[in-house]
Structure 1
Amino acid sequence: MSEFSVHVPVFPQLPALALRCAPVAPMSMALGGFVARLAQRHAGLFRRLGAYGRSRFVIDPTDLPVSLALEPRGGCPRVQVSRGPLHGDARIAGPLAALLGMVHGAYDGDALFFSRDLVIEGDTAAVLALRNAIDDAELDLCAEAQSMAGPFADAVKRVVALAETRTGVALSRREENEEW
């Protein structure tokens, strides 16, 4: 093993199979609404992209039967989910756990890239701008989902904690001093 080796869990097969049958339009709408809410709560996230705020990013979780395109559009983001190939200015591909782990600070993007768990194609400067913007925002997707869940926030937190324990996937941000 090289010094850059990273153990990245693979998304469980049963839920991945379920995504093959799930309709794409509702997934696009749900993710689009979630990202729009992120844009409202973290306006600096998309401003920090600068010239790359109009880029189209293809995010390809290699262990899922879907991929998505994210268009930040200067803070009015659009998300498209697809089972077929998507085209954009840049493509980021890797296991879902790696992609989410980078968002939550559980994995270092450089280590994932050098271990070949993460593949970047196209405009690498745009990908670097996106990575830096996400790092700066210190996003916690679980906390964002809880804020949208209203009276069900505690239930969302418990479900996410259980999913993290069972899968090893970082679904929330950990404090710097907490051990993973």
Structure 2
Amino acid sequence: MQTHPSSESLPPLVSSLVSPLPKPPMEALLSTLTKRLVARRPDLIRRLGDVVQVPIAIVPDDLPHAFLLSLDPDNSRVRICDKSRIGDARAIVRAPFLVLLGLLDGTYDGDALFFSRDLRIEGRTEHVLALRNTLEEADLTPGEFFGLSGQSADWVNTISDKLLGQVRAFAQKSAQADCSRQKLS
């Protein structure tokens, strides 16, 4: 597990490409996947306790939108909203998108990211800690999140790992190129 990302921000081009995408289909897909995960893994909801009633905002620094996560056992959902419209959230988690994914897949240590300020938490910290501890203990894989098992889950996990590795390498090269351009100017 790495303790500090060297440069995990997506290039601005990615944000500009994501911005015009329609939110409703992405919300529907993420909400459906979250509902199915909660139905398959009720232990996650039990472990979260009262936090299931609390909306938590996940705010990627390098994307134009925020994700408002509600894990109510009867109506789990993910809303995609403008970063200025996360007022319902009782807790807010901010970091570059790839750092947030790295927390989910266990690539990064949340405590180290928090103390290095690559990960910022606002509001009810105890809710974020409960979510983090639950996800860490659950040891979710992309395949499981998509409701897969066996060989199909293994295939999705392998592809996801390779894809994320390539995206991280691209982000690092982009950051290095930006740094070199800044030094020259």
Q: TM-score, normalised by structure 2?
A: 0.77
Is the 8 Å Cα contact of residues 66 and 84 (structure 1) preserved in structure 2?
yes
* Contact 2:143 2:154 (C-alpha < 8 Å) held by counterparts: no
**2:108 counterpart SS class:** coil
CA offsets 1:103-137 (integer angstroms, 9 cap, x no match): 11111111010111011000011111111111111
Q: Is the 8 A contact 2:143 2:152 kept in 1?
A: no
Corresponding pairs, count: 165
Q: Following superposition, which runs of at least 4 residues in structure 1 exceed 4 angstroms of deviation?
A: 151-159
Query: CA contact under 8 A between 2:142 and 2:157: conserved in structure 1?
Result: no
Rate the CA distance shift 1:20–1:154 in 2: closer, same or farther, 3 A: same
Structure 2 gaps, min length 5: 170-185
Q: Does 2:132 match 1:131?
A: yes
| Higher-helix-fraction structure | 2
SS of the residue corresponding to residue 103 of structure 2 reads: helix
The residue number in structure 2 matching 1:34 is 33
Alpha-carbon RMSD across the aligned residues, in angstroms, is 2.6
Give the Cα separation in 1 of the matches to 2:154 and 2:107.
23
Match of 1:107 in 2: 108
User: Tell me, which stretches of 5 or more residues in structure 1 are unaligned?
Assistant: 170-180
| 1:66 positional shift | 1.1
Alpha-carbon deviations, 1:51-109, whole Å to 9, x = none? 21101100001111111101111363111001342121000000111111111111111
Q: Looking at both structures, which has the greater relative contact order when contacts are Cα pairs under 8 Å and sequence separation is at least 6?
A: 2
User: 1:13, CA displacement in angstroms?
Assistant: 3.9
For residues 109 and 97 of structure 1, the distance between their equivalents in structure 2, rounded to whole angstroms, comes to 13
* TM-superposition CA deviations, 1:118-172 (whole Å, max 9, x none): 1100001111111111111111124433719xx9868745642441231238xxx
Structure 2 match to 1:163: 163
AA partner of residue 132 (structure 1): N
CA deviation after TM superposition for structure 1 residue 5, in Å:
4.6
Which entry has the higher C-alpha Rg, 1 or 2? 2
The normalised TM-score by structure 1 is 0.79
